[in-house]
Amino acid sequence: MSNEQEPRAAQAHFESRLAKLERLRERGVDPYPRRTERTHTSSEARALFEDDENTEHGVAVVGRLMTMRGMGRLTFATLRDGSGDIQVSFARDRFDPDDYQALKDLDLGDFLGVSGTLYRTRTGEVTVQADSYSVLGKALRPPPEKWHGLRNVEQRYRQRYLDLMANDEVREIFVVRSAVVSAIRRFMEDRGFIEAETPVLVPVAAGAMAAPFVTRHNALDRQLFLRIATELNLKKLLVGGFERVFEIGRIFRNEGIDAAHNPEFTTMESYEAYASYTDVMEMVESLVHQLVMLTHGKSTVTYDGQEIDLAPPWRRLPLIDAIREWSEIDLLSEEMRTADGLRAAMRERGLTPAEDSSWPQLVDKLIGDLVEPRLIQPTFLLDYPIEMTPLAKATEGDARLVERFEGFIGGMEVANSFTELNDPIEQAARLQAQEENREQFRDEDFDRLDEDFVTAVEHGMPPAGGLGLGIDRLVMILTGQTTIREVVLFPQLRTLE
RNA sequence: GGCCCGCUAGCUCAAUCUGGCAGAGCAGCUGACUCUUAAUCAGCGGGUUCCAGGUUCGAAUCCUGGGCGGGUCACCA
């Protein structure tokens, strides 16, 4: 029901529609019937007539009433269904007088069913000449303004259904998103990966460096977390004998909200036994290329005013080289390997690292400030410091680095991959070091030691290449959106009052 | 969290700089109209200008605080 807080004008509109609803009921019309007759979608009906204009085609169409133009004894209306719009016309001489009069009790936004015959109007529009109509769902509130749609950004997010109703280009973004997710699933299945569903509620929020959401299970009387990654459970499946697994799912990180971050977001993680991160690089290039060909029919997209070519091969750039080139800091030198030394060097270059940040945080900031914004064309950054990556295998010949890459497009991180660490003793030690760092730096973002996971690796895990792909950000690139809220149907907002 | 911007009728926007009756289009209501498609024509109604306080004879407008949203910086993989 309409609530009493509501402005008077809105209340009046609501009550006017309620009165029409009552009148329909008084005439014995059920405004919310259980069954619908539909023979054609609106685009099917139009095609049917255009294929053969000389035959009489009877159709029953349905849809939302978008416009209505009454001209005395003749009324035109537009219905919109999932396939598009179709015009219908009501001629008074084809109706019982009461039924024609009752068109007045219809409102924009109502769902209607119309049966009749297809014809072409004098102005050329394929139209259903109605013999009968029925209300399928009376709307008590009006649709957004018909020329300008809904512009208010806050309302677009809070009432996304109105946004979808009014703005075609918004609807198109989510159609593309669906096609992208579906294509990713097909790509993985075609390569022999099987899809897994692992728990969202977990006893330890491990597998990434991020702050978790905390919740509670009453019957078990214990604290649980929402997963911050799907990584560890998927690797347990490698231990169990699946050689190729993936999961498309929501993960949750209790961190800031901005144009590139929503607290819940969707990733595709995959693990392939007997592969390494170089194999994964090729898979990512190939997957993204396939997606851009699907959505654009070519390998290039325009993003934030820049032309980006996603065709393989992508640039491969060692992280250490990237940092050296754009900051002239040699991350491997002795003095840069301490937090104090690195912080001082960053300050000399005009950066503003926090006083209490840990060394991995500083490196992260260095990447974020100086490297990431320059990676507009697709680029793999290779080989990260071991301190910031506890789940990856060390690079051959340099124990300070691990085999890890991140994939960047348009200055955004979209992929993260390791040659997975499968040495249980080293794994336990590396995660233990994360625990100690978290204590020492009071930084909740260090990874956590999950004993169950270590036990699993102790049973023997095959060598593997793993991947995490940020689906929201990929969809941003593929739809030209510069904020994540435009590719998430219901982005997180503060609640009102 | 800092800074900047925004919030006016159901919707899209004016009026805010320079304080002086808060307007328009769409939507709604009444009527006319058998070829409209942003229908048209005639008429009507609709406002706690985000909230609270202040300055003033007078506040949508200026000031202070707050809310929500957007941008940006910081933080955050």
A249-284 pLDDT tens trace: 999 988 878 888 888 999 999 999 999 999 999 999
Q: Residue A446: is its pLDDT beyond 90?
A: no
Tens of pLDDT along A469-489? 999 999 999 999 999 999 999
Q: What secondary structure, in 3-state letters, does A288-303 show?
A: HHHHHHHHHCCCEEEE
Q: Does nucleic acid strand B have an atom less than 7 angstroms from the CB of A74?
A: yes
Q: What distance in Å separates the CA atoms of residue A410 and residue A124, rounded to the nearest whole number?
A: 46
Among residues A446, A321, A427, the alpha carbon closest in space to that of A382 is found at A321
Own/partner pairs for A454-459, CB < 8 Å, 24+ apart?
Answer: A454/A424, A454/A427, A454/A428, A456/A235, A456/A236, A456/A239, A457/A235, A457/A239, A457/A422, A457/A423, A457/A424, A457/A427, A458/A424, A459/A239
Region of A298 please: left (phi>0), alpha (psi -120 to 50) or beta: beta
What pLDDT is recorded for position A2?
37
Q: Which residue has the higher pLDDT, A157 or A494?
A: A157
A177 sits in which H/E element: helix A168-190
Q: Which residue has the higher pLDDT, A341 or A198?
A: A198
Strands A84-91 and A126-137: parallel
Q: Does nucleic acid strand B have an atom less than 7 angstroms from the CB of A97?
A: no
How does residue A496 score in pLDDT terms, banded at 50, 70 and 90? Answer: low
Q: Does nucleic acid strand B have an atom less than 7 angstroms from the CB of A125?
A: yes
Tens of pLDDT along A54-99? 999 999 999 999 999 999 999 999 999 999 999 999 999 999 999 9
Q: Does nucleic acid strand B have an atom less than 7 angstroms from the CB of A121?
A: yes
Locate A433 and state its tokens: 């070091």
Q: Does nucleic acid strand B have an atom less than 7 angstroms from the CB of A300?
A: no
Least confident of A139-148, A172-181, A349-358: A349-358
Q: Does nucleic acid strand B have an atom less than 7 angstroms from the CB of A399?
A: no
Protein CA at A136 to nucleotide C1' at B57, angstroms: 59
Find out whether A378 and A314 touch, Cβ atoms under 8 Å.
yes
Protein CA at A2 to nucleotide C1' at B47, angstroms: 19
Cβ-based neighbour number of residue A107 at 10 Å: 20
Phi, psi of A30 (to 5 degrees): -90, 110
What pLDDT is recorded for position A228?
92
Locate A352 and state its tokens: 């503003």
Q: Which amino acid is at A400?
A: R
**Strand B footprint nucleotides (protein C-beta < 7 Å):** 6, 9-13, 25-30, 32-40, 45-48, 67-77
Determine the Cα angle at A357 with ends A351 and A358, to 5°: 120
Q: Residue A421: is its pLDDT beyond 90?
A: yes
How does residue A5 score in pLDDT terms, banded at 50, 70 and 90? Answer: low
In terms of DSSP H, where are the helices of A218-296? 231-239, 277-296
What pLDDT is recorded for position A379?
96
Protein CA at A5 to nucleotide C1' at B11, angstroms: 19
Average pLDDT over every residue of A216-223: 91
Average pLDDT over every residue of A328-342: 88
Residues across chain A? 497
Tens of pLDDT along A431-441? 998 888 888 77
Name the residue closest to B73, CA to C1'.
Answer: A352
Name the residue closest to B25, CA to C1'.
Answer: A147
DSSP A403-468: EEEEEEETTEEEEEEEEB---HHHHHHHHHHHHHHHHHHT-TTS----HHHHHHHHT----EEEEE
Q: Which residue has the higher pLDDT, A110 or A351?
A: A110
Cβ-based neighbour number of residue A438 at 10 Å: 18
